[in-house]
Structure 1
Amino acid sequence: MITRSSSDFFQYAGRTPADFGPATAKSAFLVSPEGFARAEQSASDNVYMAEASAFDGAAATAQHLALQQALATELPVVTFPGDPAAPDGLFPNNAFATVPGRLIVGRMRHAVRQREAARSDIRDYFHQAGYTLVDLSTQPHPCELTGALVIDRARGLGYCGLSERCDEAGAALMHQAFGLRATLMFDLAPGEYHTNVVLAVLAGRAALIAPEGFADPGVPAAIAAVYGPGGITLSPLEHAAFAGNAISLTDHSVWMSADAEAALAPATRAALARNGFAVRSVPLHAIEAAGGSLRCCVAEIF
């Protein structure tokens, strides 16, 4: 099922068991921030991006290395070198994603980001590991993978926010490529570019939700209901600090930037703890100048 009907989707989602596949990845890959700079094309529809003067390549590189080291305490991490011609390349989850046995390559909206999807080294790495390629990068519909599509891997459910970075045809292509049971398409609020800034599904049993990021307030409320006590609503302050751009790489922790963790309200922190998640974080303020945070840096390997 792929639909814009919230009632149809949530009726289905409410009875979907958590038996679709692993809730968290077996490993992850990152791309280091060589050539870290403001990409003007990307800035045209990313309101989170700072001015060029705020970009500090040395600080971003140091923070990215610390991120690699921190994540490697929980699961294996592979890091590919960055490409100065692709200044947004440190956010690989928009261009590359996996399901068991398949590498999916997305169609990026901006030409500066389409260079990432053409990288042969990442494609070759997965080919040699036995993954079949599903290449969406040459068709015309934008579909920026797990930036636009937040997936509950345990249930096989997709939450796809439509914007300039993903249209309905692109959403349908991703639904098929990921082999999902059901995908809900909905409009993001004006100014939002990716769903994974306003929604994070954590190990299939909780969700961090920033309601202001959705055009229809009924959608985030219904998503929260799917996860019951695990449906955690973020305040505007938490949203602005990238608390929604979080990821669980195991079933017992949630990763976010240090600024995002600092912005967490006591009630949010308590709700995460009640649902079995310890908050882990690293400083990423230099990287966040590029308009993304920790989850954007992590491409999951299933």
Structure 2
Amino acid sequence: MITTSPSEFLHAFAALAPRPGAAATARAAFMVAPAEFALAAESARDNRYMDMDTSVDALEALAQHDALAQALRADLPVITFPGDPATPDAVFPNNVFATAPGRLIVGRMRHPVRRREAERADIRAFFGEVLGYDEVDLSGCDGLVAELTGSLVIDRARGVGYCGLSERCDMAGAQAMHQAFELQLTYCFELAEAEYHTNVLLTLLAGRAAIIAADGFRDPAAAQAIAAAYADRAIWLTPAQKQAFAGNAITLSDERVWMSAGAAAALTDAQREALAGYGFALGTVALDEIEKAGGSLRCCVGEIY
């Protein structure tokens, strides 16, 4: 079921049948290292978090990315694919490649500079030939935009997707992803005019709670409905905290939430205490150089289910 109604979503959410054995968090993760890291002017056209007037340090970005991969290995295995100088800002693979049990899903990116990433034969071969995953390829589908887990935040345990509609994902893309991930329920809502990806505004914490930046939703009722689905176990972010990427976080185990050091520094003591009360330690890594490209920690991590 796909719905755009807050009340219909909450009614359907309450009636969901359990998914026995469905994991709330991934069994492994993959990343793509920066190579000759640079900012893409195409992506900046609709990514308010990028600043094309900022200089970047490619070596520092590479060091921060490597430190992130090493840190995340405390929770699960992490595979890092080499970067490609032809796609110098391709450090956010979760928008292009994503998985569901037994399936690799390849997204349909809005900008041509990002579509080149979907052509990587080595990543496709790893999932297809090494892991034996079936491939669901949306990259060649005309008439839709579907930037995977950038636009679609998924409650994996329940099979529920939260899809923010913007220039990076339209309704046709939402429908294609609903089928590709074999979701039980997808709640679609429009993002605020200046926003591009849902995963900057919303983090689901292993299906138990949420981090939400309400100002990123065009209709505040959409954010309230998501919080209500999780019994109001929600960390509400200010616009400044959202800008610091505190909404771009991820749980890779049932006991820890990861976000960038800058994002964590923006949290209040009360928010940190709330996270602890929900059962989550806070893991952080400095990513300020990579964040210049308009994404943060969650964007760097592809999940393997």
Both proteins in one fold, TM over 0.5: yes
**Deviation (angstroms), 1:105:** 0.2
Match for 1:230: what amino acid? R
Match of 2:223 in 1: 220
Structure 1 residues 99-248: aligned runs within 5 Å: 99-128=100-129, 129-140=131-142, 141-248=144-251
Match for residue 264 of structure 1 among 260, 267, 277: 267
Q: Cα deviations across residues 83-119 of structure 1 (Å, max 9, x unaligned)? A: 1111231100000000010000000000000000111
**Deviation (angstroms), 1:17:** 5.4
Partner Cα separation in structure 2 for residue 105 and residue 18 of structure 1: 27
Partner Cα separation in structure 1 for residue 197 and residue 214 of structure 2: 14
Partner Cα separation in structure 2 for residue 100 and residue 108 of structure 1: 22
**Deviation (angstroms), 1:35:** 2.1
Partner Cα separation in structure 1 for residue 26 and residue 75 of structure 2: 11
Q: Size of the alignment, in residue pairs?
A: 302
Match of 2:6 in 1: 6
CA RMSD across the alignment: 1.1
Match for 1:163: what amino acid? S
TM-score, normalised on structure 2? 0.97
Match for residue 283 of structure 2 among 276, 280, 285: 280
> Contact conserved, 1:257 with 1:294, CA < 8 A, in 2?
yes
Match of 1:16 in 2: 16
> Contact conserved, 2:92 with 2:295, CA < 8 A, in 1?
yes
Q: Cα deviations across residues 215-252 of structure 1 (Å, max 9, x unaligned)? A: 00001111111112522211222111101000000000
Q: Secondary structure at the match of 1:264?
A: coil
| More displaced 10-residue stretch of structure 1: 206-215 or 13-22 | 13-22
> Contact conserved, 2:54 with 2:292, CA < 8 A, in 1?
no
**Deviation (angstroms), 1:15:** 3.5
**Deviation (angstroms), 1:64:** 0.3
Give the unaligned 5+ runs of structure 2: none
Percent of residue pairs identical: 60
Match for 1:201: what amino acid? L
Partner Cα separation in structure 2 for residue 210 and residue 33 of structure 1: 28
Partner Cα separation in structure 2 for residue 109 and residue 202 of structure 1: 28
TM-score, normalised on structure 1? 0.98
> Contact conserved, 1:38 with 1:52, CA < 8 A, in 2?
no
Match for 1:248: what amino acid? T
**Deviation (angstroms), 1:73:** 1.5
| More displaced 10-residue stretch of structure 1: 262-271 or 52-61 | 52-61
